[in-house]
Structure 1
């Protein structure tokens, strides 16, 4: 029989507990998506690719958002299988964001594999159908994202948690979804600007990624469990700090990460001209000569391999990566201080420390 979170004790270690939890979450999502695909696409020609592409797309994630939500639950209630099923749906909310983000960024890869819109475009092209294959792929990926969004709420609603329990969570779930969309729009605006300021990038980073990845899932889980305001405030402060550190790490990896780990070509964020924290901070910290060089490189019509290499060198010379490492360490320390005096269950304090490390680890 597979190990479940209920089989583990604090002595087993928080890492083992999180690994088991991740397996449970992945199992619930995989089962749910496979069932929905069979139900809604089975025997229909337009669903021939969807029944394999959509289940495959949801696999391979880190399930950070459901993990944080379940830890929020465990800060105020006993472990519960229905609660695990409920928070598992947050991974589908994340898949919704990824599918549409890849279309907006024209990213060909996701986790080292063809993005959804790339798969659908290839499917169209191989059949010799009319119209633009790329346009077809983008449209199909957007519709797939819509399905993930619907299924996310369906998983929560059909989890088995009582209606009164779910009622405590709906406002938080709605805020999380709204904040994700408005943050994405703000990020789109920043990417379109010539050079957004560090303050502007930081504001979007907090709203789009910091809150959505850590803070809101924790608050949702805590609300479902009926945690008091003191616990919710502590989790919210921790979540904001760790979420910000998480995005700093993601931005560093977007410029300097190993493609074998990130699943994307080296320096992909530079090729996409993303308004990331590492670029904005580099421009802020650079001296006048280096700032002119950064702007010259960023203003090139095409960001080829040579330009990526030159930009990486200039960003390193600015000191921005080292400064972001210091900010990451500082945010995590402050986050752990925020929960230290909140009288959380000891095992959840340990788990939050483990999750903070997992969310911000250096993987290059």
Structure 2
């Protein structure tokens, strides 16, 4: 008997489990081939620790939901699961590089990859430089392996071609987003549109929209399904990042697993900062400009930033999140795909907006 979408979607944990199994199998094979060639085993073990040290697997789950929205088999064939899992490897590569750029010490309440590699080689004369350089290489290798996992997923030739068209756009968007982020970091202004442009390239494309499109492409979904998925994904992706920006400043590190000082010390140009610089008093805006981007910012100065941001911008960002959540939910009414898929997408939207980590 073929499973119904309801059966599959009743427990999204099953999708995550299958994705984790695919990732674990892939890394075991890499560890075996590396050992046979006497390559450093820490490459795979470090990546394994990072991959399985946390993460919501939202991108692979959305890929599978895109597959189901497009009319794909509810049993979800193994090639589709492996294609979805490749997104998690790509995500890992982006995070590894992002943590180096941001000079972050923790991710998911664990040391970042460059810190792990630094600590593994404390006996060197240059452990910090080695850790950063080695993490760049490991991030590059992870991106290569993401492509390999997709190419060896045993997809039909035409489906692989369709998948690559989606993923090529996604990869380019992320890199442009990262570059835009770098350009704006430590140069905070009241330009809200600039902050949102970074969000759309760096987060929206590869967190929500393209994973759904990948699944839909694998199912050869009709254009109206892809259009409906975009109407949901774009506002949700913006809401997701806006929530992330709030957590980056006001979040509890014990829940988020990362510092709430990093974004302030870097002077990240976010919607929160742009709105504060627009609506704060002249004296408060001047104080923010003095403090944001100070790499030695202490907790007392950070609290000054938080008080200004909370009074002048935080409610406005919450309103932006709510408005985008409403747009995403609105796109789920009378969708051109099964109601069970819409229900799962609704649960994801709620979790993304209400999350504390």
For this structure pair, what is the TM-score category when the shorter chain's length is used for normalisation?
over 0.9
Matches within 5 A, 1:127-138: 128-129=123-124, 131-138=125-132
Shift of 1:294: 2.1
For residue 160 of structure 1, what is the aligned residue in structure 2? 154
Q: Does 1:207 align with 2:204?
A: no
Q: Secondary structure at the match of 2:137?
A: helix
* TM-score, L = length of structure 2: 0.92
Matches within 5 A, 1:1-364: 10=6, 14=9, 16-41=10-35, 44=38, 47-59=40-52, 60-76=54-70, 77-79=72-74, 80-81=76-77, 82-125=79-122, 128-129=123-124, 131-195=125-189, 197-298=191-292, 302-318=296-312, 320-363=313-356
Residues 81-102 of structure 1, C-alpha deviations (whole Å, 9 max, x = no match): 2211211110000000011111
Distance 1:348 1:49, change over 3 A: same
Shift of 1:9: 6.0
Q: Secondary structure at the match of 2:267?
A: coil
Structure 1 gaps, min length 5:
1-5
Distance 2:309 2:258 in 1: 19
Distance 1:172 1:71 in 2: 16
User: What is the aligned length?
Assistant: 352
Distance 1:360 1:8, change over 3 A: farther
Residues 230-249 of structure 1, C-alpha deviations (whole Å, 9 max, x = no match): 11111112111100000001
Q: Is the 8 A contact 1:28 1:88 kept in 2?
A: yes
Q: Is the 8 A contact 1:8 1:17 kept in 2?
A: no
Q: Is the 8 A contact 1:65 1:217 kept in 2?
A: yes
In angstroms, what is the RMSD of aligned CA positions?
Answer: 2.0
Shift of 1:205: 0.8
Distance 1:235 1:7 in 2: 23
Stretch deviating more after TM superposition (267-276 or 57-66): 267-276
Q: Is the 8 A contact 1:257 1:267 kept in 2?
A: no
